[in-house]
A and B are shown apart, each in its own frame.
Chain A
């Protein structure tokens, strides 16, 4: 028995969601008296694998198959499930990235395991099975849920668990896995990179703006503030709908759900559908000229004021701070 983590790499680099999943799995493993294994596809440098070990992987199973150089959901799911079966892993932890969410349900079916997604708590034993907490109703509720199955697949909500070092042996093992013809029916063609420099789902800080900015020509200050803070930019739905901003920046119920460390909302009213995508952010800063804007109810820090004055002043303050630190 072990806990298996899907270690997702992008061109040989493991990213934050993988380290969150390993850090999380290490604590669960300690509580359950077992160890953490990782499964990775393709090739990565020794240094990259060492990084998995530092965050808790005692074994790293590498599936390096020519047909699986780029992500193919059904085939990756087969690979992960094959490793889980051969190593008798009872629990599979998958980061809640797009690719993670694509493979998880297929892995659960292959293992005939119970599945929970968007998990925010550690996994606790409950009878023969397990109990966890997860977010539900688009962040408007927290569900405590359990299963009596002894096998479990979870996706771990991004930013729900801090990255921590947890040095383990990190033995790298080549794992021979041959995908079936049916695993390979999807033919990936190409990746179209979003223009934004920092990916929204991975960003630690997000600067977001809405209809209060009046027009696309006014986004210069938003981008400047984001650059200074090393933040990603986001927007409300109507702003993407009228194409002031690209669609991939739209956050909320029907857009991307994010939970960064800091979310700065500028000229956004805070409609319930917008909050549904951002309200689990750790700290929410709201800048809005209307003291009655509903967003203030969800805010930690608020400034009632005109964005066209507050944002340039904030940019100056950040510059001043940076110059003196």
Chain B
């Protein structure tokens, strides 16, 4: 089985988000970058599938050389080889087309994504890649088991879960539950240092969207403090907010 796991390189979850002077991009000074936590669910499940039934795993990231350390973090969890498509990932459609062009040259049985990148929270790339490759896709997958050529998955839906069966090849996006996060062990980290990252030239296509401005969300007015015995007052406030 050949598995592709696509990862995005995102600011650590504890990062205070600040912008550059122009207000158009993240101020990267002092920011630690990580593998998107949802992509880690995909990586962890890929590692389990590899242990259980054998698989060859490729890691793919669209980004400039700055993302190489993040790719190595992913390889340390699981990965037989890695590919970097050498372009700025400024737009989901652009990223999806790059990934689809690469995937067309291979024959993956399973292509895995995170449910969303925690920078632009788009939940776009996986569905776009699936459509570009004319493959079925299951988003917000909370489990996958593979038996021969057939996969059984559950996906999150409003108010519960749904069970779906589908033959490979297929595309999924990982929701929490797909696997427990794995911490890379020393052996993995050492091995990741020497695994090659193949750098590919991007296909020449336009970005469909442009960021004009990034701003902080409006600050809270400040907290109104009530005493522990002022719950009647709290109920009054709740009723004014339409909660009763």
Residues of B within 8 A of A82 (CB): none
Residues of A within 8 A of B223 (CB): 286, 296-297, 299-302
Residues of B within 8 A of A284 (CB): 220
The residue on B at minimum CB distance from A192 is: B161
Q: Which of B118, B215, B225, B228 has the most CB of A within 10 A?
A: B228
A105 touches B128 (CB 8 A): yes
Q: Decide yes or no whether B186 CB sits under 8 A from chain A.
A: no
Q: Decide yes or no whether B70 CB sits under 8 A from chain A.
A: no
A10 to B131, CA, bound (A): 25
A191 touches B161 (CB 8 A): yes
Q: How many residues of B contact A (CB 8 A)?
A: 82
Q: Which of B123, B209, B230 has the most CB of A within 10 A?
A: B209
The residue on B at minimum CB distance from A135 is: B121
A204 to B126, CA, bound (A): 30
Residues of B within 8 A of A250 (CB): 176
A325 to B228, CA, bound (A): 24
A322 touches B220 (CB 8 A): no
Q: Which of B138-195 contact A (CB under 8 A)?
A: 138-140, 152, 154-167, 170, 176-177
Residues of A within 8 A of B139 (CB): 73, 98, 101-102
Q: Give the Cβ gap from B98 to chain A, nearest Cβ, in Å.
A: 14
Q: Give the Cβ gap from A203 to chain B, nearest Cβ, in Å.
A: 10
Would you give the 0/1 interface string for A290-322, flagging 1 where the beta carbon is closer than 8 Å to chain B?
000000111111111110011001101110111
Would you give the 0/1 interface string for A49-61, flagging 1 where the beta carbon is closer than 8 Å to chain B?
0000000000000
Q: Decide yes or no whether A147 CB sits under 8 A from chain B.
A: yes
Residues of B within 8 A of A102 (CB): 127, 137, 139-140
Residues of A within 8 A of B163 (CB): 188-192
A202 touches B158 (CB 8 A): yes
B244 touches A106 (CB 8 A): no
Q: Which of A230-257 contact B (CB under 8 A)?
A: 231, 247-248, 250, 253-255, 257
Query: How many cross-chain pairs have Cβ atoms below 8 Å apart between A and B?
Result: 273
Residues of B within 8 A of A314 (CB): 231, 234-235
Residues of B within 8 A of A69 (CB): none
Mark the stretch among A28-36, A193-201, A213-221 that contacts chain B.
A193-201
B124 touches A115 (CB 8 A): yes
Residues of B within 8 A of A199 (CB): 158-159
Residues of A within 8 A of B20 (CB): none
Shortest Cβ-Cβ A-B pairs, 3 listed:
A105-B127, A305-B228, A199-B159
User: Contact residues of B with A, CB < 8 Å?
Assistant: 11, 13-14, 16-17, 19, 26, 37-38, 92-93, 96, 118-128, 130-132, 134, 136-140, 152, 154-167, 170, 176-177, 208-217, 220-221, 223-232, 234-239, 241-244
What are 29 A-B residue pairs whose CB atoms fall within 8 Å in the complex? Answer: A73-B137, A73-B139, A101-B123, A101-B139, A105-B125, A105-B131, A109-B127, A118-B122, A135-B217, A136-B121, A137-B26, A141-B214, A142-B216, A143-B211, A143-B213, A144-B215, A145-B211, A146-B209, A185-B170, A188-B163, A193-B159, A261-B242, A273-B14, A276-B118, A297-B223, A301-B237, A306-B228, A313-B228, A322-B244
